[in-house]
Amino acid sequence: MTMTTTQAPTRHSVVELTQVSRWYGNVVAVNDVTMTIGPGVTGLLGPNGAGKSTLLHMMAGFLAPSGGTATLDGRRIWRNHDVYRLIGLVPEKEGVYGFLTGWQFVLSSARLHGLPSPADAAARALELVEMTAAQDRRIETYSKGMRQRVKVAAALVHDPQVLLLDEPFNGMDPRQRLHLMDLVRQLGEAGRTILFSSHILEEVERVAQQIEVLVAGRHAASGDFREIRRRMSDRPHMFRVRSSDDRRLAAALIADASSSAVSLTDQGVEVQAVDFSRFTSLLPRIARDLGIHLWQVSPTDEDLESVFSYLISRSSA
Amino acid sequence: MNAVVADITYRAMLGRKRIWLLALLPAALIGMAALLRLIGGPDEHTAVILMEKFSIGTMLPLLGLIAGTGVIAPEIEDGTIIHLLSKPISRPVIALTKFAVAASLVAVFGAVSTFVAAFLLIRDESGVAYGFSLGALFGGVAYAAVFMLVGVLTRHAVTVGVIYALVWEGLVGGYVPGARSLSIQQWAQSIADRISSSPFLSSDVSLGFAVPAMIIVTVGALVWAGQRLRSLSLTGDE
C-alpha cells in the first residue's frame, strides 16, 4: 500500500448536539447535552430511562429539542425531511408492517428513497443482513431477531452516511447478535457515522470505539471503552456478607487494605471494597483460614444505575 | 401523492380483516333495501328515510371514521409510521396520499352502496339514487379528511370520532337548528336535496353554504394533518 498526501476527500457526516435539552412538562428527560458524533461507531450507553431514546429521537428528527440545537452536517434536523437522504434509522419499537414480506418491506424502503434501481438495492441490503433466504415470508412470521434484521436492511438500503440504531441488539439470539455487531463494526470502519444505544456495557464495548454515557438525562462520561471501563471498575463496591461468625469475619476484613469500611448490621457484614479484585480473592481465603462458613455474598450496588450514578458523581466532582 | 405509501396503505386497509369492517355496513344497507323490495312496499318515502337515516346518517360517518382513522392512526400507535416518515418525502404528501386512500374507500363503499340500495328500491325515481350517492361521495370525502386529522391529532381518534358522530351530528344537530349548518351529514343531505326532486326530501342547509363549507373543512383538515405530521414526535417509553 502506498501513502499519498493528497487523499481524495471522502464524504463524512457529523451529527452535532449543542446544549440540547428536552423536557416533558416538569420532567427533564435530557439535560443540556453537547456531543458530536463523527465517523466510526459510537455507543450511547446508559441505564433504562436515562434518556437515550429521547436523545436518539432528537438526532433522528422525531423529537424537537426543548432547548439547544441538533444538526446534521450543519443543517437542522427537526422538520427537515431532506436529512433522511443521509440518515438510516432503526427504531426500537417493532415498527414493521407484518402483512408485508421482508422483500416487500425493504423494497418499499428503496422506492420511498427514490433509488434508481430499488430492486438491486433491496437485494443487496437483505443479503447484508443475511435475510435473503427468508425474504419471501411475511414479516409477522419472523422471530424478533429476524424483524430486527429486516429493519436494519430497510435502514441500510440507501447506503446512508449516518446510521442511528435504538437498542438494536435487544431480542436477538447470540449468533444474530454477533453477526449484527460485525456488520455495524464494518460499516463504522468504512467511514460511516454510526450511533447505537444500549444499556449493556459489554455490548457497547465490543462494537463501539467511542462511548457516550448518559445517566438521568445528563451526559455523564465520554471516551473510548478502556477509559469508561476503568472508571467503572475503579469505583468502591459494596457487598453484604452473611456468615457463621460475622464479627470475626469483619475484623479480619478490615485488617486488609482492600476494604475501606466494614460495618456489622442485622443482615450481616457490609463491606465497602476499594480494590475489587483483591477483595474478591481475599474473602474466600479468610473464611477458609478462620473456619467461617459464608452463607451469602451479594453485591448491593451492582446494578447499572448505581454504577452510572458513580460515574456522574465522578464527572461532576 | 406517493405510490408506495398508497400501496402500503391499501394493503393495510383491505388485506386483512379490516375490509370486513368497511364492507359490513354497506352490505347491511343493500341487504335492507333488498328486504324491503322483497316484502313489497318500497316507495319513494321509505327510500328517502332509509337513505337519510341509515346511509348518510349512520353508515357514512362510521365508514369515514373507519377509513379516515384507519389509514393512519394504527401506524402512529404502533410506530410503523416511522418507516414512511424517515424518508426524504414531504410529510404533507404522505398525509395527502393517506387521505386519498381513505377518500377512495369511503367513495367506493359508501357512495356505491348508497346508489345500489336506492336504485334497488325505487330505480331512478325523482333522482333519489343519484342525489344520495353524490351526497355520500362528497360527505364521505369530507369525513375522511376530518377523521384522518383526528387520527393524527389524538391517540383516542375512534372515541373522539364516535362522540362527534353520535353527540354532535346525532343529538345536538337534531335539536339545535344552528348546529345543523356545521354538520357534514347536513351538507351531504343538502347535495342530495339539490339533485333529487323528491318532495320527501328537505334540507336545512343551503347548497351555497354546504359546498364551500365542505371544501374548506376538507382542505383545512388536510393542511392541518400535513403540518401536524411534520412535527410528529416519538416520546419513546421513557
From chain A, pick out residues whose CB is under 8 angstroms from the CB of B91. 81
From chain B, pick out residues whose CB is under 8 angstroms from the CB of A217. none
In this prediction, residue A227 has a pLDDT band, given cuts at 50, 70 and 90, of confident
* A307 belongs to a structural domain: no
Taking 50 as the threshold, does the pLDDT of residue A9 lie above it? no
The reply to whether B229 touches chain A by the CB within 8 Å rule is no
Determine which of B5, B86, B233 to mutate to test the interface with A (most A C-beta atoms within 10 Å). B86
Contact criterion met (CB < 8 Å) for A63 and B235: yes
Contact criterion met (CB < 8 Å) for B80 and A94: yes
Structural domain for A269, as ranges:
236-301
Q: Strands, DSSP E only, in A120-249?
A: 162-165, 193-198, 210-215, 218-224, 237-243
In this prediction, residue A309 has a pLDDT band, given cuts at 50, 70 and 90, of low
Question: Measured between CA atoms, how close is A152 to chain B, in angstroms?
Answer: 11
Q: How many CA atoms lie within 13 A of B121 on its CB side?
A: 29
From chain B, pick out residues whose CB is under 8 angstroms from the CB of A94. 78-80
* A161 belongs to a structural domain: yes
Outline where chain B has alpha helix (H).
3-14, 18-38, 44-49, 60-70, 73-78, 81-85, 91-106, 113-122, 128-153, 157-163, 173-175, 177-180, 184-195, 207-230
3 state SS of A224: strand
Task: Give me chain A's average pLDDT, please.
Answer: 88
**In this predicted model, which residue has the larger pLDDT, B202 or A192?**
A192
- Shared domain for A172 and A263, answered yes or no, is no
In this structure, what CATH number is given to the domain that contains residue A256? 3.30.70
**Domains: count for chain A:** 2
The reply to whether B20 touches chain A by the CB within 8 Å rule is no
Query: What pLDDT was estimated at residue A314?
Result: 63
* A312 belongs to a structural domain: no
Closest residue of chain A to B79, computed from CA coordinates: A95
Q: What is the mean pLDDT of residues B33-53?
A: 88
- What whole-number distance in Å separates Cα of residue A312 and Cα of residue A316? 6
Percent with pLDDT over 70 in chain A:
90
In this prediction, residue A304 has a pLDDT band, given cuts at 50, 70 and 90, of low
* A145 belongs to a structural domain: yes
- Chain segment B47-77, per-residue pLDDT in tens: 999 999 999 999 999 999 999 999 999 999 9
**Model pTM score:** 0.85
Pick the closest to residue A300 from A236, A211, A222 (CA basis). Answer: A236
Query: What pLDDT was estimated at residue B176?
Result: 79
* A6 belongs to a structural domain: no
In this structure, what CATH number is given to the domain that contains residue A49? 3.40.50.300
- Shared domain for A172 and A282, answered yes or no, is no
Q: What is the mean pLDDT of residues B203-211?
A: 89
Query: Which of B78, B88, B233 is the closest to A81 by Cβ?
Result: B88
- Shared domain for A190 and A292, answered yes or no, is no
- Shared domain for A191 and A286, answered yes or no, is no
Kindly tell me the burial class for residue A300, based on how many C-beta atoms sit within 10 Å of its own C-beta (0-12, 13-18, 19 or more): middle
- Shared domain for A288 and A152, answered yes or no, is no
* A4 belongs to a structural domain: no
**In this predicted model, which residue has the larger pLDDT, A22 or B18?**
A22
- Shared domain for A258 and A160, answered yes or no, is no
- DSSP for A43-86, please give it: EEE--TTSSHHHHHHHHTTSS--SEEEEEETTEE-TT-GGGGGT
- Chain segment B84-103, per-residue pLDDT in tens: 999 999 999 999 999 999 99
Residue with cell 410528529: B232
CB B171 within 8 A of CB B91: no
CB A44 within 8 A of CB A197: yes
How many CB atoms are located within 10 Å of the residue A231 CB?
18
- What whole-number distance in Å separates Cα of residue A126 and Cα of residue A151? 10
Taking 80 as the threshold, does the pLDDT of residue B16 lie above it? no
Q: What is the mean pLDDT of residues B216-236?
A: 92
- What whole-number distance in Å separates Cα of residue A134 and Cα of residue A137? 6
Q: Give the residue from A232, A256, A288 where a domain finishes.
A: A232
Domain boundaries, chain B: 3-230
* A223 belongs to a structural domain: yes
Taking 50 as the threshold, does the pLDDT of residue A4 lie above it? no
Residue with cell 344552528: B178
CB A195 within 8 A of CB A42: yes
Q: What is the mean pLDDT of residues A144-165?
A: 94
From chain A, pick out residues whose CB is under 8 angstroms from the CB of B8. 97, 100, 108
Contact criterion met (CB < 8 Å) for B83 and A24: no
- Chain segment A179-223, per-residue pLDDT in tens: 999 999 999 999 999 999 998 877 888 899 999 999 889 998 888
In this prediction, residue A98 has a pLDDT band, given cuts at 50, 70 and 90, of very high
The reply to whether B208 touches chain A by the CB within 8 Å rule is no
- Chain segment A104-117, per-residue pLDDT in tens: 999 999 999 999 99
From chain A, pick out residues whose CB is under 8 angstroms from the CB of B238. 29, 48-54
- Chain segment B137-167, per-residue pLDDT in tens: 999 999 999 999 999 999 898 899 888 877 8
Percent with pLDDT over 90 in chain A:
65
* A246 belongs to a structural domain: yes
- Shared domain for A204 and A268, answered yes or no, is no
| Lowest-pLDDT range of A261-270, A293-302, B56-65 | A293-302
- What whole-number distance in Å separates Cα of residue B121 and Cα of residue B51? 11
Residue with cell 408485508: A100
Q: Which three cell numbers stand for residue B138?
A: 362528497
- Shared domain for A224 and A241, answered yes or no, is no
Regarding beta strands A193-198 and A162-165, do their DSSP bridges make them parallel or antiparallel, or are they unpaired?
parallel
What order do you get walking across the sheet with A294-299 strand by strand? A259-265, A268-273, A237-243, A294-299
Q: Give the residue from A199, A232, A265 where a domain finishes.
A: A232
* Cα R_g (chain B), whole angstroms: 18
- Shared domain for A183 and A160, answered yes or no, is yes
Question: Measured between CA atoms, how close is B66 to chain A, in angstroms?
Answer: 19
Query: What pLDDT was estimated at residue A5?
Result: 33
Question: Measured between CA atoms, how close is B63 to chain A, in angstroms?
Answer: 23
Query: What pLDDT was estimated at residue A95?
Result: 79
Task: Give me chain B's average pLDDT, please.
Answer: 91
